[in-house]
Structure formats: structure tokens, C-alpha cells
Amino acid sequence: MADPVTALVVAFALVAIVAFLFWPHRGYYWRAQRVRRLGGRALLEDALKHLYNFEYRSQPASVESLGGALEVSQNEAADLLVRAEERGLVKVEGAVIRLTPIGRSYALRIIRVHRLYEHYLSEETGVTEEDWHRLAEEREHDLDDADVDQLAFEMGNPAYDPHGDPIPTVDGEIAPQRGVPLSEAEVGTPVTVVHVEDEPEAVYAQIVAEGLQPGVRLDLIEITPERVRFWANGTECTLAPMIASNVAVVSSTGPVEDEEDEFQDTLAVLRPGESGEVVRISRRCRGLARRRLMDLGILPGTEILAEMISPSGDPTAYRVRGATVALRKEQALQIQINRTLEAH
């Protein structure tokens, strides 16, 4: 009979091997599939996009940065640059890599498709924000110019994607970068988020967990080499400076009547017999989830009465425009209200 300790070690080793091979989107199998799928044109387009993003941020791109971004070896990245130079898309002079005008135009088209599709996912589907970037990367190589122009037209030609990145126009024009890193903002000055960097994924997940996205107002409390503390969405938050640097902000100098921070109450605070008037649906509620609430008649100015809480505590039944609807707590938290009647 096998030693229990040995059996346990073998089991852990098998789990580690399976995870290495098949971990979703990151395992060896999926990475190999991605490289095979992207072999050729798509991989070249990803390379151009990487070079443009570095150029836009005034940072020098390198074979190392390209290989890391595309998850290929440095030799493969170098071969890719040779192919791009042969096609007149880049110019390599020693360690300096530059896009040619043709290469820059090509890169801007791919970036336009990517950011338009992210906008589509955020506003027209129920896809969660953690998946917008990945799905847009999968589709950006498939849409032709006619599809892209139609998509832009149907969405009203948006100027920015849901992360606050400017969307290039059909003519290749793009707005400059906005804001300063949150880690460099001035303590005591209200700021508004204008951009959230969506890579790397682990960092983006922490930013999402704090409810940060373009349009959210922050009140900075403290910035030190160890942490950045601030109020956001009525909650005190703390981020490491490295993570806070992936959030760009501008000073909030205008009126605040439109700021979500001014409203402390959500529908979730109402007890049976209490009511409130809808102020807005939180900007964090997007796409299909937002439209479902609006289809139920949950619009600014609507009076909502809490009628009954289910035995399990969730969902709660509310009276909305003469009809009874059940909303889960996570939905009620997205509906901001002013109390109009308290239970006695």
C-alpha cells in the first residue's frame, strides 16, 4: 500500500501539471492554441498595436517588451520585427524600434476595432468588465472596415472606450492621454477617474474590486510610499502605489450635483414599509443589466416602496409603478435613492 504522504505529493504534482497545461487562458495548451491561431497576420497586428501603445506613452519598445506582450520567445519576437520591417511597417535602428507612417496607420485601425468592441461589450451585452479586454482581443482581427464603421455608427461614434482610452477616428486621429496617475495626485483635492489601465489582469482585477472606473469621483486622504488611501463610492479604499499608478485622474473643479458620491442611500437600505425616489442607476451598472432595470420602470424620479423581504433575506419585493418586482441585493445596491418615507 502506498505511503499516504507519497500519495499526497503525487496528487499535488498531478494537479500542478494539469494546471500548468490547461489553466484557462494562461495554461500551456491555451497559449499554444493562441500562438497557432494568431500565427501570421493577427500576430503581426498585435505587435503593431504593442509598438503603438509604447509610442503613445513615450516609452521605448524593445524585443523583450514585444516578446512579453505577445507571450512568445525573444527569437520569435525578433523574427516578427524582421517581417514587419520587410513589409515597411516598422524601422529598426539598433535598439530603437519605430513604426513607419504605414505601420502607425495599421496599428490605429486595430486599436480602433479593439476599443469600439470593448465599448460594445460594456454597453450592449451582459459581459463582465473583467472579460471585455480578452474578448475584444479575440475579435479585433476578424472585423472588416465595413463592420467597424457600422458598429461605430450604431453606438453614436463614441470618443472613449469603457476604460477611458480614446478611440481613434476612421481617419486615424486620436486624442492625447488625459490625467495624472492617482499615486501622483494632490491630497485634499477632489479628483475624477478618467482612465483605468486594463493590463496586467491581476492589477486590473484589484482596481475593479474597488469600483474604480471613468467618471468615479475620489477624495484623496493619504499618499505614502506604502499606500494610497481615498474615499470612493462612499467607501474608504486603499491601494498600493504601483496599482494606483494604473488609474489616471483629473481635478474635479466643476459642480458636483452629478457625482454619485453625493448620494449615500441605495435601494438596498430600505426596510419593508419604507420608500425612496430614484436618483439614478449607478454608472457601474452597464449594458443588459442596466436596461433590465430601466425596463422595469426604475428611472430617475420613480417612487419605489419596499414591500417584503424573502425568508432567506434575498431577494426583496419592491412596488414599482404599480407592479411588484423582486430584486436581489446586488441589483438594489446599484439603484441610488433619496428616502421619502420611513417605516413606523
Does residue 60 sit in the same domain as residue 120?
A: yes
Task: Give me the CATH number covering residue 216.
Answer: 2.30.30.90
**Rounded CA gap, 155 and 175, in Å?**
19
Quick one: CA dihedral 263, 241, 162, 33, positive or negative?
A: negative
The reply to whether 271 and 336 lie within a common domain is: yes
Name the domain boundary from 251, 281, 312.
251
Q: Is 31 contained in some domain?
A: no
Task: Tell me, yes or no, whether 323 lies in a domain.
Answer: yes
pLDDT at 305: 93
d(CA 188, CA 37): 50
Q: 293 with 205, same domain?
A: no
Is residue 58 situated within a structural domain? yes
pLDDT at 188 (0 to 100):
86
Number of structural domains the chain divides into = 3
Is residue 27 a part of any domain in this protein? no
Is residue 24 one of the residues assigned to a domain?
A: no
Where among 93, 126, 160 does a domain terminate? 160
Q: Does 282 share its domain with 233?
A: no
Q: What is the pLDDT of residue 258?
A: 44
Domain membership flag for residue 21: no
Note whether residue 110 is domain-resident: yes
| 132 domain-assigned | yes
Q: What is the pLDDT of residue 28?
A: 53
CATH at residue 55: 1.10.10.10
pLDDT in tens, the chain (344 residues): 456 667 666 666 676 666 556 555 455 555 555 555 555 788 999 999 999 999 988 889 999 999 998 888 999 999 999 999 999 999 999 889 999 999 999 999 999 999 999 999 888 887 888 888 889 988 899 888 898 899 898 888 888 898 989 999 988 898 888 899 999 999 988 999 999 998 888 888 889 888 888 888 899 999 999 999 998 877 889 999 999 999 999 988 654 444 444 455 889 889 999 999 988 888 777 777 887 888 888 888 889 999 999 888 889 999 998 889 999 888 888 888 988 877 55
Q: If you ran DSSP here, which 8-state letter would residue 266 be given?
A: B
Quote the pLDDT of residue 213: 84
Residues 57 and 152 in one domain: yes
Measured CA distances, 312 to 41, 290, 306, 309, 318 (Å):
54, 25, 16, 8, 16
Per-residue pLDDT at 256: 41
- Domain boundary, last residue among 229, 251, 273: 251
Please indicate, yes or no, whether residues 272 and 321 belong to a single structural domain of this protein.
Answer: yes
In DSSP notation, 213-248 reads: -TT-EEEEEEE-SS-EEEEETTEEEEE-HHHHTTEE
For residue 90, the enclosing domain spans 39-160
Give pLDDT, residue 264.
59
